[in-house]
Structure 1
Amino acid sequence: MKRWGVMLACLTGLAGCGGTHVAENPGAPKVIVDSDYNTLSDDGQLGVMAAQLQATGQVNVLGITVVSGNQWLKQGVADALKAVERLGIETQVGVYAGANYPLSHDFSTVHQELLAFPGGDGYLGAWSKPEPKSDSDLVAPPDGFASHTQVQGKSAVDFIVDTVKQHPGEISILAIGPLTNIAQATSQHPEIVPLIKQIIYMGGAIDVPGNTSPTAEFNWWFDPLAAQQVLRLPVRQVVIPLDVTNTVKMDKAVYDSIAHNPAKQTTITQLFKQLNGYGYDGKNGFETNPAYTTNIWDTLTLAYLIDPTYATQTTQEWVDVNASYGPNDGKSTGYLTSPPPGLQKMTVVQRFDNARFFNLYTDLLTRPVPVKLPGS
């Protein structure tokens, strides 16, 4: 438990944690992954894919900044620490702890709202479970906690600010969780806004229903005020909403190519089967139902980053988020004309090249681990 005492001390600012050496690949897109991290659902899958792309010089992941969303912050940090250690990239890619609570929602508001305006799938992420207060409240990944990797002493906000200033015009942020960290970084240090190259989101539901509520997609619903603030920044922005992620579903054939390929069995593929094979209820999943399918939301942002032609259909729209209590809290809206003041046009992805994407997805998730990065 000693290592977790150190980790939690770093989280609360009571102890200093050493810096991380990043092996940069000249010419590769420089990326910050801002994530409500998990072991091997879509956030964790993107982490594996990004590490493999970094090993071949296609991206340069400068760090992972964690935010509450799918899980509370401390659990997400624990999973991210184990992820970088499992992949063998812990000395190159640091994990930075960010916001534990959203700017707007709180427990009372969330539950009052969903009771008053029922519908959607009711997924509450972190709000559906007690917040971990001590080491003993953390749940270990199936292969155990990180044994030697510590969270960085610098906060997620400070890391985002410092990194953007160090690499002006070069940093792409993959925003695959609630947008609290990015909202705080840009509001506290507005001088970084014109220095950000682009923000690529998995978030929103433009012309389709929401998932958590009838109108709202989870990432932007969890902290709609942060989403509203970040979407209004004068930065190049790309939105990959439910409109497209609903159409890119993993089926049994793709699942089997990862979980049941005898020539490509790794720690990752074993965990993939354990954590993705039995569905959300532990019963109805790929291992029990040949017709089962599931979304793999966040992973599309990484494919778009390395090659925007993975998107086969896009529009240019003004996008906004409602941040007021009520049935439309967290609802995202696209405007083709007559936008509200303060918005700018951004790229909204509508369709993906599914076959090509799943070739990439399967390849990256079945490559050998640990990952061998340049300079490691």
Structure 2
Amino acid sequence: MLKYRLAALWLGLTLGALPAAAQERVILDSDYTTIGDDGQVGVMAMQLHAQGAINLLGITVVAGNNWLPQEVSDALKAVERMGLANTVGVYAGARYPLVHDYKTMTYERDLYNVGGSWFRRPEPPDDQLTPPLDGFATKAKVQPQHAVNFIIDTVKKYPRQVTLLVIGPVTNIALAIRMSPEIVPLIKRIVYMGGAFEVRGNTTPAAEMNVWYDAEAARAVFRQPIEQVFIPLDVTNTVQANKTIFDKVTANKDHIVSKLLLNSGFARSLQQNPKATANIYDTLALAYLVDPTYATEVVEMWVDVDTNWGPSYGHTLGYRDTQKPAANHLQKHKVVLRFDNERFFKLYVDLLTRPVPVLMKKELRGTSAVQLRTTLQEFAVILTKPRPS
């Protein structure tokens, strides 16, 4: 326990050096999973919230990686596991895309051999849920307010102060704007993991999953005059976890994040092939939100989405100034193309190995400078002490 508290103190000092822009209100909009990239973002964001680096106002869940009830169940367990069940609310959102339905998706599966949890069976009954390794949530309850209404009310409550971290399909955001278009100028910015601008898609040859799943919603939001930043496959393809990173995150076999990862598909892949790598798409979007200087190459593009049924459905279109169509309905947005990988992975490993449940910032108050210096010296001794063979 001392080691965990020391680690939390160390993290507090590290995060205290983050730029002031990181101290902002955030809604995490996610097609949540237990320990996939969405679940990892949840862990990392809640650690940042606990240390005061961001104010995580809530988690809004949208169908995408799985059917909505399973995602909500996973998100509820996540906030409970992190000790924030009474602090960070979970809000159930859109159960289906605006237009893209299951029958159409099955056609695309047959055409393009794409897959995912949402293809494996028709929608199951709500009570047929799969628990994570540590069981279902017993205390955390889904909030009675719909996610779309929560987004609307929160943006109005904190005008031009709320960043939407959108790491799933854009359905909830599109519905919020359609229901209350007056929130458009009140949204501070939107940071996405989504899109494939100049690289092959990961769902169909043309499309990245989050955009493809609800292309109509994505197009509606991308065309809004809101500051929007894209972390697309163009950059996430170049920042992949390998065995070295995996071993660092799972070094403490008693840590719940380690246990979950050791039970993951990536762990099985590494057993078969130690040179295997894994995409950790969404985690880059959180890092950019906290500190945009993680991005080392950013361009501006006029962004749109192809919503015509066919092989290009869901293709994210990005036009440079010289390529921009004559139509004036497009908006210019930032598109991240390269990341500081080494610096990012330090943050990634650090946040995923912090104590769980989290230690809130207030638990660290009252520590004198002398106590803090002594504690950090003890921490350094622990880190350098050789492990018993």
TM-score for both structures, normalised by structure 2: 0.85
Task: Select which of 118, 121, 136 maps to 1:129.
Answer: 121
Give yes or no for contact 2:22–2:291 (8 Å, CA) kept in 1.
no
Counterpart in 2 of 1:75?
Answer: 70
CA distance in 1, matches of 2:90, 2:340: 31
2:102 pairs with 1:118: no
Q: 1:114 to 1:341 in 2, by over 3 A?
A: farther
- Correspondence for 2:360: 373
- Asked if 1:257 is matched to 2:248, the reply is yes
Find the aligned partners of 1:118 and 1:248 in 2 and give their Cα distance.
Answer: 25
Q: Cα deviations across residues 203-225 of structure 1 (Å, max 9, x unaligned)?
A: 01000010110000000100000
Partner of residue 334 from structure 2, selected from 347, 354, 359: 347
SS at match of 1:298: helix
Judged with a 3 Å threshold, the aligned counterparts in structure 2 of structure 1 residues 139 and 351 are, in CA distance, closer, same or farther, namely: same
Q: CA deviation at 1:375?
A: 5.9
1:193 matched to 2:191? The reply is no
Distance change in 2, residues 1:355/1:27 (3 Å)? closer
Change in CA separation of 1:46 and 1:156 when aligned onto 2, cut-off 3 Å = same
Residues 83/193 of structure 1: CA separation in 2 closer, same or farther (3 Å cut):
same
Separation in 1, partners of 2:240, 2:361: 33
Aligned partner of 2:55: which letter? N
Gaps of 5+ in 2: 1-19, 364-389
Q: How many Å separate the matches in 2 of 1:89 and 1:242? A: 31
Cα drift, residue 79 of structure 1: 0.2
Q: Which has the larger radius of gyration?
A: 2
Q: Once the two structures are superposed, what CA deviation does each residue of 1:228-274 show, in whole Å capped at 9, x if it has no partner?
A: 00101110000010000000000100000011x24x74111111221
What is the DSSP-based 3-state SS (H/G/I as helix, E as strand, rest coil) of the residue aligned with 1:253? helix
**Cα RMSD, aligned residues only:** 1.7
1:133 maps to a residue whose letter is P
Q: Which amino acid aligns with 1:330?
A: G
* Partners of 1:265 and 1:366 in 2: CA distance: 11
Specify whether residues 349 and 197 from structure 1 end up closer, same or farther in structure 2 by C-alpha distance, changes over 3 A only. same
Is the Cα contact below 8 Å between 2:266 and 2:278 reproduced in 1? no
Q: 1:306 to 1:92 in 2, by over 3 A?
A: same
Contact 2:22 2:290 in 1 (8 A): no
Which residue, 290, 302, 307 being the options, matches 2:291? 307
Q: Is the 8 A contact 2:27 2:165 kept in 1?
A: yes
CA deviation vs aligned residue, 1:159-196 (integer Å, no higher than 9, x gap): 00000000000000011000000000011100111000
Asked whether the equivalents of residues 72 and 142 of structure 2 are also in contact (C-alpha less than 8 Å), the reply is yes
In structure 2, the CA distance between the partners of 1:326 and 1:366, relative to structure 1 (3 Å rule), is: same
Partner-residue secondary structure (3-state), 1:52: helix
Distance 2:347 2:154 in 1: 28
Rounded Cα–Cα distance in structure 2 between residues aligned with 1:144 and 1:218: 28
Q: Distance in 2 between matches of 1:265 and 1:110?
A: 40
> Which of the pair is proportionally richer in helix?
2
Describe how 1:225-374 pairs up with structure 2 within 5 A: 225-259=216-250, 261-262=251-252, 265-279=254-268, 285-337=269-321, 338-339=324-325, 340-374=327-361
Secondary structure class of the residue paired with 1:333 = strand
Matches within 5 A, 1:93-242: 93-115=88-110, 117-118=111-112, 122-135=114-127, 137-242=128-233
Task: Write the letter of the residue equivalent to 1:43.
Answer: D
How many Å separate the matches in 2 of 1:123 and 1:26? 38
Q: What is the CA–CA distance in structure 2 between the aligned matches of 1:114 and 1:127, rounded to whole Å? A: 8
Q: What are the superposed Cα offsets for residues 299-333 of structure 1, whole Å, 9 maximum, x if unpaired?
A: 10110011100000010101111112101000111
* Other structure's SS at 1:287 match: helix
How many residue pairs get aligned? The number is 341
Q: Which residue of 1 aligns with 2:25?
A: 30
The one-letter amino acid of 1:255's match is F
**Alpha-carbon shift at residue 56 of structure 1 (Å):** 1.4
- Deviation of 1:276 after TM superposition, in Å, equals 4.5
Mapped partners of 1:321, 1:272: distance in 2: 34
Counterpart of 2:226 in 1: which secondary structure?
Answer: coil
Please say if residues 41 and 276 of structure 1, whose CA atoms lie closer than 8 Å, have aligned partners that are also in contact.
no
Structure 1 stretches of 5 or more lacking a match? 1-24, 280-284
Percent of pairs with identical residues = 53
